[in-house]
Amino acid sequence: MLARLCCWLLTLFAMFTSLALAPAARAEDGYQAWLRYAHLQGTALQDASAHATALIVMDKGPSAKAAQAELQRGFAGMMGKPLPLATALRDGAIVLATPGASPRPLPASPADLGDEGYAIRTVTMAGKTVTLITANHEIGLLYGAFDLLRLAATGADLAHLDQRSTPKLKLRLLNHWDNLDGTVERGYAGFSIWDWWHLPDWKDPRYSDYARLNASIGINGTVLNNVNAKADSLTAPYIAKAAALASVLRPYGIKVYLSAKWSAPIEIGHLKDADPLDPQVAAWWAAKANEIYAAIPDFGGFLVKANSEGQPGPQDYHRTHADGANMLAAALKPHGGVVIWRAFVYAAGAQKDPRLDDRAKQAYDDFKPLDGQFADNVMVQVKNGAIDFQPREPFHPLFGAMPKTPLMMEFQITKEYLGQSTHLTYLGPLFEETLRSDTMVNGPGSTVAKVIEGKLDNHKLTGMAGIANIGTDRNWSGSTFNQADWYAYGRFAWNPESSAQTVAREWADQTFTTDPRVVAPIVSMMMGSREAAVDYMTPLGLAHLMGTGHHYGPAPWVSDLGRPEWNPAYYHKADAQGIGFDRTMSGSEAIAQYAPPVAKALSSLATTPEREWLWFHHVGWDQKMASGETLWDAMVHHYDHGVAYVAAMQTTWNSLRPSIDQQRFDQTQTYLAIQHREAQWWRDASIAYFQSISKRPLPAGSAAPEHRLDWYKALTFPYAPGRG
């Protein structure tokens, strides 16, 4: 194993250090992210100049004007000269038109573009060869404009365009965990970009750039405030502030939503309770909806976290989640609004049967019986896995289990459990892995992507949510490579069947350069980075071993907190015989929440993927793996591989120094050094702890931890960031 690892590292080193690299890039601070519109070179510049000679916009709406501004900005940057507006057709012109706004006949447009789709084609109009962007509505023109700019920036052939695109999901939202005091829960990129104190008067120009970045990847909604909400968010002053933000975001097709605190009728409405079946409570919410829509006519709706982690909810009154969601849905329905009800329920109280105690089962147990009871403007928002955004989790068993209820995927873009602000752990492979997982509910091919797209059960209301990683840092996301996670989320929300590698290449082309000598090693580095983090943090199906509270660094030894499921030891259950959480029918029976073919496969080690062994099984330390190694030896080798991969990323990045601007190069280099140090810490602390239980020697060639176990246990981090 060690010989193979060394060979792999030497090959990687030789390949990347032998590159003949492009000239150094201009200085940048990351603010423009993937919308840099860097000056094109050579044939790419000639191609763009020949096919962007003028701009003709046949729609005068605000989104069409935003498309016009973006195309002029983008091509001016890429060509080094202005893109003039015109009225008469000329060869090479870019023409934007919606059917109702066009005064002249247009070539037939694809019939199924829907409300947000677009087509980009090279066509002949009045004897002139032009690039035509058509859409049924002006927001489609904006999305098409961004796609044309993406094509130009990534070196595509602009001479023979014939493509169309429509989003596969209706709601594509960012969930901001931003607080009214400016802090961000689980935020690692500075403070909230929403300047609540100075709104609604001061509209920071940054808001428009935020809107541009989101529209460029198809995001069409943003939840402004934390799901751990304050009732003040629903008072008149804060509604006015939200309305000011809505006015900035609206031209870019982005609706605003608010997280609603369940107890708001008590806290700001002075009612005696918040019982959803109390007519006074329902009337209060209806009046509040009327007030919001008077200020924000296109308000999207409410996101609700209820009866979870101490938040109030309908269960406080012995009502169901459906009772609560439907009451809010009735208040919003006259205005076309939706309720997004989170399925992350993590309530107080022990399980009735300690033998079956398993936090992973609670959401399914709470929501599966309610299937078919939700109003038609309610979506249930389900995390990708059943615990909490771990480096790897099997897909959530609710996907496919509620055919009568539209389910909305919830991913975390901010990396609470994946290295926080500094680790380079590209999330595209995590998104792809989850979305391509097969629920088997309707036989093979019943993927999670098809569940959330509504294809399996003919749902019209569909969506995806991502917990935003955006803050006041100049580069938006804390690091250049964290921007890739934001970008990838948007692309997967537009099309859940996307390819993580294709998206990574697309992002790198726009963020750095289209030179394949630079892009290829960057994409290769990105594609293995999340798996490396799994290896040095939670290999083979381990989960939730992070320090409690701040979730920073390893703490698998913690076992003395007030509730069992607060403790990392609860999740790994290591003892003298083995390690892992038994979720088979001899354990917590969690596998029974999956469709029978999936449950059958997970019931046996032989048919459970090794990467998920310790999630579903308690496995003996000496159990043989497919490689012939024992489980213990394989665990150690996974830890070693994770650390080695980060070292290889450092080598790769250092070889790219001549081709990356100094500021972005230096920050990434520094962060990779932090990641390598912390990966080593994860590896050493975890091995020291688990070896104290397994009593097995380390495999040949694996180094002993740098310190004794007590040294790692003594580390404390009272001021770790991201706690909000």
- Could you report the per-residue pLDDT of 366-383, keeping only the tens digit for each? 999 999 999 999 999 999
Cβ atoms 457, 442 nearer than 8 A: no
Q: What is the pLDDT of residue 13?
A: 41
CATH superfamily of 171-273+289-313+326-511: Glycosidases (3.20.20.80)
Q: What is the pLDDT of residue 102?
A: 74
Q: What is the pLDDT of residue 722?
A: 86
Q: Which of 416, 432, 535, 640 is catalytic?
A: 416
Q: What is the mean pLDDT of the chain?
A: 94
In terms of Cβ atoms closer than 10 Å to its own Cβ (0-12, 13-18, 19+), residue 571 is buried
Q: What is the pLDDT of residues 56-114, one digit of tens each?
A: 999 999 999 999 999 999 999 999 999 999 999 999 999 999 998 777 778 877 888 99
From 84-93, 98-107, 559-568, 636-645, the region with the lowest mean pLDDT = 98-107
Q: What is the pLDDT of residue 7?
A: 40
Measured CA angle at 49 (ends 45, 50), to 5 deg: 120
Mean pLDDT of 665-687: 98
Which CA distances in Å does 570 have to 286, 590, 710? Answer: 43, 15, 20
Please give the Cα distance from 132 to 30 (Å, whole number).
32
Q: What is the pLDDT of residue 106?
A: 84
Structure tokens at 163: 């493509």
**Burial state string for 10-48 with b = 16 or more CB within 10 A and e = fewer than 16:** eebeeebeebebbeebeebebebbbbbbbebeeebeebb
DSSP state of 651: H
Please give the Cα distance from 102 to 96 (Å, whole number).
9
Reported as a pLDDT band with limits 50, 70 and 90, residue 10 is very low
Tell me, yes or no, if 267 is annotated catalytic: no
Q: Which of 29, 157, 309, 575 is catalytic?
A: 309
Report the SS3 class of residue 290.
Answer: helix
For the structural domain made of 536-581+618-713, what CATH number should be given? Answer: 3.90.1330.10
Domains 42-165 and 171-273+289-313+326-511 share a fold: no
Reported as a pLDDT band with limits 50, 70 and 90, residue 20 is very low
Q: What is the pLDDT of residue 469?
A: 98
Q: What is the pLDDT of residue 107?
A: 85
Give percent of the chain above pLDDT 70. 95
Please give the Cα distance from 516 to 526 (Å, whole number).
15
Mean pLDDT of 177-193: 97
Reported as a pLDDT band with limits 50, 70 and 90, residue 19 is very low
Please give the Cα distance from 503 to 516 (Å, whole number).
15
Least Cα distance to 361 among 346, 349, 372 occurs for: 346
Least Cα distance to 291 among 253, 327, 258, 324 occurs for: 258
Mean pLDDT of 152-179: 97
Q: What is the pLDDT of residue 353?
A: 59
Q: What is the pLDDT of residue 2?
A: 40
Which CA distances in Å does 488 have to 159, 267, 361, 389, 440? Answer: 27, 39, 29, 16, 26
Structure tokens at 30: 């990351």
Least Cα distance to 43 among 160, 145, 131, 159 occurs for: 159
Tell me, yes or no, if 497 is annotated catalytic: no
Please give the Cα distance from 217 to 516 (Å, whole number).
23
Q: What is the pLDDT of residue 355?
A: 55
For the structural domain made of 42-165, what CATH number should be given? Answer: 3.30.379.10
Structure tokens at 682: 């994860």
258: CB partners within 8 A, 6+ apart: 223, 224, 225, 229, 233, 234, 242, 292, 299, 302, 303
Tell me, yes or no, if 640 is annotated catalytic: no
Report the SS3 class of residue 41.
Answer: coil
- Whether 347 has a pLDDT exceeding 90, the answer reads no
Cβ atoms 314, 307 nearer than 8 A: yes
Domain ranges of the chain: 42-165, 171-273+289-313+326-511, 536-581+618-713
Q: What is the pLDDT of residue 105?
A: 78
Q: Which of 388, 473, 506, 684 is catalytic?
A: 388
Helix (H) or strand (E) holding 118: strand 118-125
